[in-house]
Amino acid sequence: MPLLETQGVTVRFGGNTAVDDVSLSIEPGSVTGLIGPNGAGKTTLFNTVTGMQRPTSGRVFLDGRDITRKAPAKRAHLGVARTFQRLELFLSLSVRDNVRVAGDIVKASRRGAYDVNGETDRLLELTGLASIADLEVSSIPTGRARVVEVARALMTHPRLLLLDEPASGQTEHETEEFAVMLRGLADTGLGICLVEHDLPLVMQLCATIHVLDQGRLIASGTPAEVQASPEVIAAYIGNEEVTA
Amino acid sequence: MDLFLTYTILGLVLGSVYAIAASGLVLTYTTSGIFNFAHGAQAMLAAFLYWQFKVAWGMPTLVAFVLVVCVIGPLLGIVLYNVLMKGLRDVEEVTKVVVTVAVLLGMVALSQWIWDPTQARKMDMLFGSSTSIDVFGVVVRYHELLCVVSAIALAVALRLVFTRTRLGVTMRAVVDDPDLLRLNGYNPERIAMSSWALGSGLAAFAGVLVTPVAGGSLEANTLTLLVIDTFAAAMFGRLRSIPRTFACAIALGLVVTYAGGYAPTQWDWVSNFKAALPMVVLFLVLLVLPQDRLRGTSQTRTRERARVPSVRQAAVWGLAFVAIMYLILQVASPIMVGPLIAALVFAVIALSLVPLTGYAGEINLAPLSFGAIGVIVAFHTGIVGTGLAARLNWVGIVAGTIVTALVGGLVALPALRLRGLYLALGTMAFGGIVSTLVIKEIQPRHWFGLDIALFPAGILVVPPPKIGPLDMAKESTFLMTLAVLFAVLGIGIVALRNTGYGRRLAAMKDSPAATAMLGQSLVKLKLSVFMLSAGIAGLGGILMASTAGSVSAENFLIVVSLSLVMLTVVGGVSHVSGALFGGVMVGLVFTLISGTFSGLAIEHPEFESLFGSFAHLFAIAVALMGIGVNQNPTGVVHQICESYRPLRNARPVLYAGGAVAAGVYVLNYVGVYGDWWLAILMFCGVLLLPIVGRIWMPERMMTPAELAEHEARRTPPPELMGLDQPLSDTERFELDLLLGLPPRPLPLQEFAEELEQLTGKDEVHAPA
């Protein structure tokens, strides 16, 4: 059974269809890529999965369970976590507290023991943020801030992690380390979905890639299959060549 | 049938006025993102101005009307926008709210200064009350006709403007994305300014129309708060949609009129209920509004900077506070103890805002109304003994606190699904309900098998508390108990901020979307903090009633609540010290200043009007403090603390300051001078010490950059050399070097010194 499945998800804003009848799935223990030109509906699709946006029609399943009408917080309890394309950090807190507060939330809303401080230290170490943990989060560069969001999301022990352009703002070296970390996370059984414009990173990391264009799913498959797809080339380079 | 028609027409008229006022609110909010709480105050000022022009100065109706509605109204909007609102882009919601609330308070103070409130003023209908037409046998005055016709015209005009004109489309665009609009060559600020002009014009129009409809007598507070009645309509339009706002406004006008007209006359509560109806409708609207969609905010850091003290620091401050209160108690004259108690009581109420507004970013505009709930419960449950032996026991205090927390939760729950502003509006409406409905429950009524009056005879007599052996009948005991209570609550609130719960509140304030996505139910978290806050306000209210001995409706006026909220934000709402500032200002400084001025006026009758003006000026100055919060949104106390920070490196200055303070205190203790001098000297001393430090020990107080600038200012720049005294040989030599002229020879010894300096500096190259 796939970890996440969307069935015919459609989102309309007035007359504008942002996501058009998209059905796709994400497997646990792998990195799935979601690519497409700007305005293709990638972030909107993320929003429907996390509950920030109700789909106009279609359904979303997590582990075969229908979560289409569940509140965002409920979905987080079920194991969905995300990062944001436009950063959503807790700007008045330090890097450490940004990560720690996620643990505070877990501890307050679920039963069972949860070692907030221990987990915080472990994840700061894992994501390489330990050296800047005591800085104000508003003072660190964007690339690092994206990693803070990842660490924060990992605090909830998710099963599905949605990353919205996590590499933008990172240096080449940081991106390499980031890729290694993501693969390591996937190996632990986490399902990762990656929206990213850094195509070399996507091709290198992802087992499966879904391509969106103008809200429609135009291709799905391995990196090689997707790269060979004429629709994908048309979407990325422009339509003229295809029609000509 | 005739009766029905009459009520319908009256309802339509009232609804039309609501619609005009509410559409002004929506218009300014959508284009500038600022909800104008002063909208009603603007309407009030317009009504008074119109009265001044028309009745006092005898201008023709049309001239007065045009002057007020088409000239002064819009002009006021333009001034408000340019001077205040434009600067409110990168601040928290509470700062925006407080600035407009300050404008409201300032306008009320100004109107009471110009138009003596003890004097009655009547305002007739436009065109007089005799001009009328006949509609199916019902007499409709021209004024009433004007209300309805202009509301319809406005609805049509706004619709056309928004859909058909470039201005309207750009106005809608301002809301969605001002930056994109700027890129397209429009100036969002000009658009926002024109909407403020239009909105303020509509406020003025509504003010002139509503006064005769509502009975004709001009009363500043009533007219100002009339705007609360229109909140429901604006909210039904989700602060965005003009047609929905109009629909709700008209419905509201009809419902209010029918309720008043058709309710059986033996229901004595109907007239109170009628006054409260718009606010009841507001809560109903809140219930039916769909939940806000969670959206990411475009994150720009706001200008507020709160520092979170550790529990240890808070404990030290708490102890110091209790010690200082003890010292003050030793020297204060007995008549000062009452105001000091009042200050602490208000500080406790203001403390309720620290977790709610300071930590969680939610706003309660009517903390005193929650206090009123606490008082009512405590009055009915906790009084033992009679006469002078009567005491308030702990049961009353605890029950009052808990019930207030529960009521707070009930009130806030419908608004919590929505943005913070809706909660602020909801609390203000709750304040309206408390003062129009709850406090008016002065007759015994049959409630759940008991015959009690909530607020018997309009006055609640609350004796001093007695908890176990601690009897607070003696004022000094009461004061010290309050000081300890405030310190303990303050430390507790700081400790709360340092727990996981406090961090969750801070996270929710910074990014609700991310907090929800991590699994936090926002409604639960907001509800819990609102209940905590309401509970503290309830406790403070009980103590307030108990110190005052008795309370009536006057103690719970919304205007007082607004002042307290405003001054707490001025002091710094994220800090316990800000609550103390707010409490001291409302409880102590207000009463002291107005008491002093009225005392002076009685002593010197020849200067009575002068001292009266001073009292009014003070009220306006306080409002200006609130307006100034935009300059320093983190708060005054924070600013003072920051100025003391560098003093840690300059211990001698601190010790000297402490010694001077002790000296000032001792001189007062032995009776060299009175309390006023002590207060003034201490106040000046506290403010001046950092400045003294900078002059005395600049090298320890300043950062290297500041120090360099300081040094540069002390040595005159070369172009000023030789102006106040003739150039010395060395200076002439240096000047020649700077200008690249062949230097005139120096006397040998000085030349050697100069050479040493130059080679040491290695910067200036002497020409060969």
One-letter amino acid at A30 equals: S
Q: Which long-range contacts (CB under 8 A, 24 or more apart) does A168-173 make?
A: A168/A142, A168/A196, A168/A197, A168/A198, A169/A141, A169/A142, A169/A143, A169/A145, A170/A143, A170/A146, A171/A143
Q: What angle do CA B124, B129, B130 make, to 5 degrees?
A: 150
Q: What is the DSSP track for B251-278?
A: HHHHHHHHHHHHS-TT-TTHHHHHHHHH
Tokens 């006021």 locate to B76
Least CB–CB distance from B301: residue in A51, A105, A138 = A138
Map B51-92 to HEC letters. Answer: HHHHHHCCCCHHHHHHHHHHHHHHHHHHHHHHHCHHHCCCCC
Q: How many Å apart are CA A30 and CA A182, to the nearest integer?
A: 9
From B389-398, B553-562, B720-729, the region with the lowest mean pLDDT: B720-729
- Is the pLDDT confidence value at B540 over 50? yes
CB spacing of B294 vs A106 below 8 angstroms = no
C-alpha A201 chain-centroid distance? 14
Q: How many Å apart are CA B473 and CA B465, to the nearest integer?
A: 7
Q: Residue A138: its chain B contacts at CB < 8 A?
A: 301
Q: Are the CB atoms for B281 and B434 separated by under 8 Å? A: no
C-alpha B199 chain-centroid distance? 21
- Is the pLDDT confidence value at B711 over 80? no
**pTM (predicted TM-score):** 0.88
Q: Are the CB atoms for A169 and A142 separated by under 8 Å? A: yes
The pLDDT value given to residue B296: 64
CB spacing of A97 vs B522 below 8 angstroms = no
CB spacing of A105 vs B515 below 8 angstroms = yes
Q: What is the DSSP track for B571-595?
A: H-TTSHHHHHHHHHIIIIIHHHHHH
β-pair partners for A94 = A136
Q: What is the mean pLDDT of chain A?
A: 90
CB spacing of B516 vs A76 below 8 angstroms = yes
Residue B498 token pair: 């340092």
Q: Residue A13: its chain B contacts at CB < 8 A?
A: none
Q: How many Å apart are CA B752 and CA B767, to the nearest integer?
A: 16
What count of Cα atoms within 13 Å lies in the side-chain half-sphere of residue A10?
11
What are the helix and strand counts (H, E) for chain B? 33, 10
Q: State whether CATH 1.10.10.10 applies to domain A1-69+159-244.
A: no
The pLDDT value given to residue B137: 73
The CA distances from residue B419 to B144, B360, B414, B422, B424, in Å, are: 36, 13, 11, 6, 9
Q: Residue A76: its chain B contacts at CB < 8 A?
A: 516-520
What are the helix and strand counts (H, E) for chain A? 10, 10
Chain segment B598-627, per-residue pLDDT in tens: 888 888 888 888 887 888 888 888 888 888
Domain boundary assignment for chain A = 1-69+159-244, 91-157
Q: How many Å apart are CA A97 and CA A117, to the nearest integer?
A: 10
Q: What is the DSSP track for B362-395?
A: ---S-HHHHHHHHHHHHHHHSEES-GGG-EE-HH
State the Rg of chain B over Cα.
31
B416, B518, B527, B528: which to substitute to probe chain A, counting the most A Cβ within 10 Å? B518
- Is the pLDDT confidence value at A244 over 50? no
CB spacing of A50 vs B296 below 8 angstroms = no
Chain segment B38-89, per-residue pLDDT in tens: 999 999 999 999 999 988 898 888 899 999 999 999 999 999 999 888 888 7
The CA distances from residue B16 to A243, B2, B72, B153, B161, in Å, are: 59, 21, 22, 11, 19
CB spacing of A52 vs B514 below 8 angstroms = no
Closest Cα partner for A165 from A217, A202, A211, A124? Answer: A202
Residue B497 token pair: 């901020």
CB spacing of B510 vs A89 below 8 angstroms = yes
- Is the pLDDT confidence value at B651 over 50? yes
Q: How many Å apart are CA B416 and CA B409, to the nearest integer?
A: 10
Q: Are the CB atoms for B216 and B123 separated by under 8 Å? A: yes
Chain segment B124-182, per-residue pLDDT in tens: 777 777 777 777 777 788 888 888 899 999 988 888 887 888 877 787 777 667 777 77
Q: Which chain A residue lies closest to B505 (C-alpha atoms)?
A: A101
Q: Which chain B residue lies closest to A117 (C-alpha atoms)?
A: B500
- Is the pLDDT confidence value at B461 over 50? yes
- Is the pLDDT confidence value at B768 over 50? no
For chain A, give percent helix, strand, coil, nearest 5.
Answer: 40, 25, 35
User: Taking the CB of residue B625, how many other CB atoms lie within 10 A of it?
Assistant: 18
Q: What is the DSSP track for B195-215?
A: HHHHHHHHHHHHHHHHHHHTT
Give me the mean pLDDT over the A123-131 stretch.
Answer: 93
Q: Residue A107: its chain B contacts at CB < 8 A?
A: 500
B36: CB partners within 8 A, 6+ apart: B25, B28, B29, B42, B100, B199
- Is the pLDDT confidence value at B766 over 50? no
Antiparallel, parallel or unpaired: β A191-195 and A160-164: parallel
One-letter amino acid at A139 equals: S
Give the DSSP H/E element, type plus range, for residue B298.
none
Domain boundary assignment for chain B = 2-288, 311-602, 724-761
- Is the pLDDT confidence value at B299 over 80? no
Give the DSSP H/E element, type plus range, for residue B632.
none
Closest Cα partner for B109 from B551, B540, B566? Answer: B566
CA–CA min distance A108, chain B (Å): 8
Q: B635: helix, coil or strand?
A: coil
Q: What angle do CA A232, A235, A240 make, to 5 degrees?
A: 120
B210: CB partners within 8 A, 6+ apart: B17, B21, B43, B47, B223, B226
β-pair partners for A193 = A32, A162
CATH second-level architecture of B2-288?
Answer: Orthogonal Bundle (1.10)
Max Cα-Cα span within chain A = 63
What residues of A are in the B interface, CB distance below 8 Å? 50-53, 71-73, 76-77, 81-82, 84, 86-93, 97-98, 100-110, 116, 138, 149, 152-153, 155-156
Residue A106 token pair: 């877990």
B517, B524, B528, B575: which to substitute to probe chain A, counting the most A Cβ within 10 Å? B517
The pLDDT value given to residue B767: 46
Closest Cα partner for A170 from A137, A146, A135, A204? Answer: A146
Max Cα-Cα span within chain B = 116
Chain segment B719-739, per-residue pLDDT in tens: 676 777 777 777 777 778 878
Q: Are the CB atoms for B597 and B615 separated by under 8 Å? A: yes
Q: State whether CATH 1.10.3470 applies to domain B311-602.
A: yes
What count of Cα atoms within 13 Å lies in the side-chain half-sphere of residue B623?
20
Give me the mean pLDDT over the B387-392 stretch.
Answer: 86
Antiparallel, parallel or unpaired: β A4-13 and A208-213: unpaired
Q: How many Å apart are CA B129 and CA B143, to the nearest integer?
A: 8
Q: A58: helix, coil or strand?
A: strand
Q: What is the mean pLDDT of chain B?
A: 86
